[in-house]
Amino acid sequence: MTDNSKPAKAGAIRKRNMRKILEAAEYEFVLHGYKGTSTQAVADKAGLPKANILYYFKSKEKLYIAVLQEILELWTEIFGEIREEDDPAEQLERFIRAKIDMSFRQPRASKLFAMEIIQGAPHIEHYLETNMRTWLREKTYVIQRWIELGKMDAVDPMHFIFMLWASTQHYADFDKQVLTLMERKAFKSADREHIARSLSEILLKGCGLVPSHLKESS
């Protein structure tokens, strides 16, 4: 009988180490930028030897790209496999709430992505031109079908998705500005729900849809 415990244990260790490295890299890249971050700093933050970083990711640039791609994959997975037979109000509100939740839980991820785009996306341009373009085409097609089927008012599907991204990421990318203008030091526990409801109302009403909390109160 073959003992599979050793490969399973090795796989678990690898997964745990990679998670530590990615989280440490995200922290360091946001704090110091790509140029100001060293592989050694990431290793120190992760509590692992520098050799481990290079073993798993080969170079600082590949580690940086891995962090950015993971962020994008998390965001695109939230929208999931939307279909033309779905209820657009339910799907769009679910997306808004999930993105707001991620902006509160993982603000560094959103800031890191914003920094990369502001600099001209030098490290993920190919990913944007391939994976992200394919994803966007798929989602805009479904939204256009919802419009054609009379499920929502006519809007430009692509720019509607851009608006969804921009509004939900704003609270992470510009948290200092938002909190200062709100005269607060930090977001309160009730803010996440209030923001999610407000954005759902504004964005869904803008295309003829009604968010769930308004349906319940009517």
* Domain limit, last residue, from 37, 58, 79: 58
- Retrieve residue 50's tokens: 């520098």
Number of domains in the chain: 2
Residues 3 and 82 in one domain: no
As a whole number of angstroms, the distance between CA 195 and CA 17 comes to: 35
- Where residue 2 sits, what CATH number does that domain have? 1.10.10.60
pTM above 0.85, yes or no: no
Q: State whether 46 and 91 are in the same domain.
A: no
Q: Which domain covers residue 98, as residue numbers? A: 67-217
Query: What's the pLDDT tens digit per position in 26-74?
Result: 999 999 999 999 999 999 999 999 999 999 999 999 999 999 999 888 8
84-139 confidence digits (pLDDT tens) = 999 999 999 999 999 999 999 889 999 999 999 999 999 999 999 999 999 999 99
User: With 80 as the cut, is the pLDDT of residue 5 above it?
Assistant: no
Residue 1's pLDDT band, with cuts at 50, 70 and 90, is very low
- State pLDDT tens for residues 176-199: 999 999 999 999 889 999 999 999
Where does residue 157 rank: exposed (0-12), middle (13-18), buried (19+ CB within 10 A)? buried
103 shares its domain with 162: yes
Distance of CA 62 to the CA centre of its chain: 19
Q: For residues 49 and 95, state if they share a domain.
A: no
* Whole-number percent of the chain with pLDDT over 90: 80
pLDDT of the residue at 116 = 93
Under DSSP, the state recorded for 2 is: -
Same domain, 43 and 77: no
